[in-house]
Structure 1
Amino acid sequence: MLSVELPAQLHRSSQFILRSALPTGGTGKGNETCRRNLAYPRHPLRLPLEVREHVDHDVATASLGGSVKENSIAAMFDRLRGRSTKIHGLLSEFAPPRLLDSEDGYNFVLAQGRVFGVPQSLGPLDLSSEDISTKPGVIVGNSLPEVRMRAVRRAVATAPRIPVTSMLGIPANVAFYGANHPALAPLFSPGHDDDIRVLDPPREVEISNPLIGRLDYALRTFRARMARANVSENDVEAFIDTRDPVSQLLACSRGGIHFFQGAPLTLGANPWMIQIEKASTLFLPFITPGNSYGFDRRVSAIYRIVRALLLSDDCVGIVTNIRSTKRDLPVLFEAPSLAEKTYYLPFFLEPPRPVQKRPRSFLFTSSWHQHEANFYSRGGVDAAMIFAEISKRHRDAELVMRCSLPASLPDSVQTVLDAPNVRIIDQPISDEEMHRLFAEAQFYLLPAPSLHSMSTLQAMANGCICILADSWGSDEYLHDGIDGLRISGREGKNWEYRVHEAFLAERYAGLETPDLAFVQRAVEAIDRLLLDDSQMQAISETARIAAARSNSAEAGRKAFAESLRDIRGRVVRSSRA
């Protein structure tokens, strides 16, 4: 069974009060039929809205025990197309208020002869004694499909741009998702290659019957494909729920090849390709970073879903910056044919401008998204303790930490961060300021249990001496004592590579407290280096040369163009078939 844990703030606890407005007089057959069909209580009915419950439209009962969970976005769009058969046309001003549905932040209520779309954020309301039509966000219409359509339009217009932060096109008509991520932006920088052009994302998606039809077709095709892969209906719907309606509408509104980064945020409405570093991100959000030790592909529903997606003709290419990932994917998914559409494509950087280094200066950064929990997963606790020991031996050492800090830190770590030779930058900074931090730092501290390719590459390109842990994949970037330092202690504790299934299993537990043995090994290696200026200079220059030789933007664009030519050919062959 697929499950995904939602952040606490996403759980709703508001309640909606419906008060009876049923006439007290009259004993006619019509009134009795209405009473029987509605099973409406004479006292206020309180309906919990923590989850999106589906209330049976034939019999609305006083108790919601045993109700059925809403069947994801498919049912929403089924009803948008007018296929619901459970709306009985009780649009009578004499009928009591009736909850028709609760979905995507709205309660759809039949009251006073009209249908109201009421934002759940408004809290409890009494429809029998107040006019709610003027309240913020309330939508009023004559039918459920009409109000639901307007609610979807409003959601599309006001929602963040999903996982789509930018769309970039090239001659293959690739709609690119996440193009402003620093790991991939150099491939799409305008002005470097006439073959690459930048397109702005659409500000709105015009919802139309043809668009709904394309999404409906994509959903039916996806469900059929998963049924052939022996994925249960519940697991399929759980997966669909993680691909939100706005993003799928946007996907259906754009032709061409869609390019995703990290996870396949698609139901297969278009041909698509994906960039990954390690295979486990393909399983997001059901398997999250640092929590993959329990993965067993023999019983994993998300494994079967992703495998079916990757093996479909809709998936036209997989690119990865790690050679071992390219090698391992056909083994992990037990599909030798995956090798034909998997491409090795290293990350690339424009050559940075050399800047004078500050002696004994250390830099630590968290990831691009700057989530505070990333301080732990990037090894921030051990980085702080390593610097604390170094600064005792070298009083002129200084540390810059570009990160958002957790609200609560161990006392020993907080003491380090409060020191006058430690500077915390927890506010957004420009790309130029970020480049300057790397350019000026002499050492880059990244004792994370996992590989962070782009940060490592940026540091090496700027001549920083990287202090990495023995994380999986880091040996593809850095060679201990030659172009940086790799400190042992993470392998076996925080990750293991399962050779028989070619899978990287990770667990980040314990990173909230210092690993004193690891810290001591790092301090000794750094201290030896600080006492040898010539070796420091040699490592710095070797790192700079290695990054320039293997990761130039010009070579990256050329390699990407070559892979796209192959991918275009695959799309053409698939369409002909």
Structure 2
Amino acid sequence: MRLGRQAKTPFPDRYNGWRVIRTHGRVFGIPPTADEVRLLAEERLFDHPAVKCAATLPAMQALIDAHDPAEDTPEAVARRDGYDVVRFRGAYHAIPHGSGPVDLDFPADRSAAGVVSAASLGGVDEKYKAIAAGRPVEFAGWLPVYVGSGNCGAHPQFGHTQSPPAGYRFTRSGVTPSTKFGLLTRMIALAGPRPLRLWFTLCSIVRFPFAFVRPRKGVTLAARWRVLVAAVTMFLLLVRKGCRPLAAARFIVSRHLQSQLLVGGKHDLVFLTSMPYTFGQNPWVIEVEDPTTLFYPLIQNGHTCDMDVRERPVYGIVKTLLEADHCRAILTHMKSSARLISALFDSETIRKKVVYAPLGVRLPARFQPHDEEPADAPIDLLFINSWCQVAENFFVRGGLDVLEAFAQIRQKYPNVRLTLRTSLPDIADHYHRVLADGWVRVIDRFLTPEEMAELHARSHIFLLPAARVHIVSLLQAMSYGLAVVGSDGWGMEEYLEDGRNGLVVRGRHGVASWADEEAGVLRENYETMYTADPVVVAGIVEAVSRLVEDRELRRRLGRTARADVETTYNLGNWNRGMKAAFDLALGATDPRAAVAPVESGNRLGSLVR
């Protein structure tokens, strides 16, 4: 049978007013009520609640035909003094009067407008009254400068901002603008990182003076003046303190002027995440996990093993920044960081600003009970990449060691299965054979919070042989009652106690990461993570073998870990520590009344002196 030219089967762009898109093997439908441009720009196609998904075009058309437009319209249910309550997609939302139109499908928009959400009308009333009375703290994690810094402002580590400490409430004065790169920038990016870095540097220098007069939505003339004065004041202060003028200028440019203008209004206190992106136009508090991020992007994690940080020009700049009056407190959930920061800067002024409190997470209702099962029942191992799902972080989390160890474990225990929640980087054929030979499942797609909860609750053993602590991943696994196998990398053993609430594999300390207490530097060498470490691999095999053969050990470790989250590493304790930092920042705490540093991870909220 001879076949020639045939007509191309058309795929419609629209159907009944809906935008129809075929991608990733599925068909997606965007309703006319959604902000289509923003939804696609922010890559929300896969998780936006208004978007429908189907296997075929006819199936999508059937979904659209059956759709009730009322589902996309908030229903007014109550009016209160100062706010209105609406019911939308199964939840209740309190919208303050005067906030203007709010897209309730975007969490950032809800936060920016001060919307409070709960599962019931009574719950939203109670929550709103408690929060509305609090003193406002501007959460700066929404600023565009954080998008280019691993998007750390949106990291689950800062999910606690949805439940502020007593007497405070978090505000967002804007929404993260979408980042669009021009054709020239994309072409230069193809030339490699060095030309791209030079291009961005040149653009920053040229744009900086014009940004103060360029029209920008939401930026007032008063904000422009405040930011200009703050930038000039910071530059003069740095030079007066002995910093090199060129280095000072480079540091100021790295704070991202657009972001500073967006948060240029007057705020009692600004809460920064991980990196001190500020000119000091407002008093600020910063939350950090380690001291290295204070120097970002001029010094970055993973490259400090042989670095003399104090000899770098940025050292004096950051020290001056932290000693300045507008820096009010430095909050950390790592005792080691509290000590390192104090030693690194050797400044009594900075040391008085450091506040330590162990981080907390929510305790899920569903968890892994490790109940009695048949001897040949599957035992599921779980390995999760970082929240941002950068494929290269597979190495830093110990992914190669996990695959090497699983190849041996699979030979001993055929009922053991491995799930990798990660995008895979380029790895050798040897590892692809491990993936093919053993029972290994790779999940590299987006997972909803419900799917992530299901994945945790159905797993038995959590593997985290990482170069260093990854605090949210660790605490979440503990909260679900998993038996955690971690490493002795920096910070891990502040939360994971070998034989009590998990098992610790040796081999990372002094190789991939360690605290240099004398210099005050977190030493990290991530290059060692790009090949499997025989010591770590052997440790994983031994630890997992113990847990496979001893169900009672799995159960005891998992229950102890979950109990630790319930009693110690919870949001209540963390909020008391955060409240201590905010009180200190706003003068509600007398610095001379601070207690001594804590020596146990089970004690809370001391100011480090």
**Shorter-chain TM-score tier:** 0.5 to 0.7
**Distance in structure 2 (CA, Å) of the matches to 1:536 and 1:185:** 29
Distance 1:207 1:338, change over 3 A: closer
Higher mean Cα deviation, 281-290 or 528-537? 528-537
- Confirm or deny: 8 A CA contact 2:367 2:481 kept in the other structure: no
Aligned to 2:169: 196
Aligned to 2:403: 384
Aligned to 1:350: 362
**Distance in structure 2 (CA, Å) of the matches to 1:280 and 1:476:** 18
Aligned to 2:453: 435
Distance 1:165 1:227, change over 3 A: farther
Distance 1:266 1:537, change over 3 A: same
Residue 428 of structure 1 deviates from its aligned partner by 1.6
**Distance in structure 1 (CA, Å) of the matches to 2:534 and 2:475:** 27
Q: Does 1:510 align with 2:528?
A: yes
Letter in structure 2 aligned against 1:278: D
Alignment of 1:321-360 (within 5 A): 321-356=333-368, 359-360=378-379
Which protein is bigger by CA-based radius of gyration?
A: 1
Letter in structure 2 aligned against 1:429: L
- Confirm or deny: 8 A CA contact 1:364 1:402 kept in the other structure: yes
What TM-score does the superposition give when structure 1 sets the normalisation length?
A: 0.66
Aligned to 1:310: 322
Aligned to 1:230: 242
Distance 1:217 1:200, change over 3 A: closer
Aligned to 1:118: none
Distance 1:456 1:165, change over 3 A: farther
- Confirm or deny: 8 A CA contact 2:410 2:416 kept in the other structure: yes
Query: What CA deviation, in whole Å up to 9, does each residue of 1:93-114 have, x standing for no partner?
Result: xxxxxxxxxxxxxxxxxxxxxx
Q: Secondary structure at the match of 2:527?
A: coil
Q: Does 1:538 align with 2:550?
A: no
Instruction: Pick one of 307, 317, 323 that aligns with 1:295.
Output: 307
Residue 369 of structure 1 deviates from its aligned partner by 1.2
- Confirm or deny: 8 A CA contact 2:336 2:515 kept in the other structure: no
Q: Does 1:275 align with 2:287?
A: yes
**Distance in structure 1 (CA, Å) of the matches to 2:557 and 2:431:** 29
Aligned to 1:248: 260
Query: What CA deviation, in whole Å up to 9, does each residue of 1:106-151 have, x standing for no partner?
Result: xxxxxxxxxxxxxxxxxxxxxxxxxxxxxxxxxxxxxxxxxxxxxx
Aligned to 1:361: 380
Letter in structure 1 aligned against 2:347: A
**Distance in structure 2 (CA, Å) of the matches to 1:561 and 1:215:** 28
Alignment of 1:69-84 (within 5 A): none
> Where in structure 2 are there 5+ consecutive unaligned residues?
1-105, 115-130, 142-152, 178-215, 371-376, 592-609
Letter in structure 2 aligned against 1:279: P
**Distance in structure 1 (CA, Å) of the matches to 2:421 and 2:111:** 25
Distance 1:351 1:208, change over 3 A: closer
Q: Secondary structure at the match of 2:383?
A: strand
- Confirm or deny: 8 A CA contact 1:166 1:180 kept in the other structure: no
**Distance in structure 1 (CA, Å) of the matches to 2:433 and 2:588:** 57
Letter in structure 2 aligned against 1:173: P
Alignment of 1:60-139 (within 5 A): none
Residue 311 of structure 1 deviates from its aligned partner by 0.6
Instruction: Pick one of 135, 139, 145 that aligns with 1:176.
Output: 139
Q: Secondary structure at the match of 2:135?
A: coil
Superposition misfits of 4+ residues, deviation over 6 angstroms: 163-166, 570-573
Aligned to 2:509: 491
Instruction: Pick one of 363, 376, 400 that aligns with 2:419.
Output: 400
Residue 314 of structure 1 deviates from its aligned partner by 0.6
Instruction: Compute the RMSD of aligned alpha carbons.
Output: 2.7
Aligned to 2:196: none
- Confirm or deny: 8 A CA contact 1:167 1:177 kept in the other structure: no
- Confirm or deny: 8 A CA contact 1:316 1:570 kept in the other structure: no
Distance 1:327 1:416, change over 3 A: same
**Distance in structure 2 (CA, Å) of the matches to 1:165 and 1:270:** 23
What TM-score does the superposition give when structure 2 sets the normalisation length?
A: 0.63
Aligned to 1:412: 430
Distance 1:173 1:196, change over 3 A: closer
Distance 1:404 1:200, change over 3 A: farther
In the alignment of these two chains, the number of paired residues is 410
**Distance in structure 2 (CA, Å) of the matches to 1:165 and 1:371:** 27
- Confirm or deny: 8 A CA contact 1:168 1:174 kept in the other structure: no
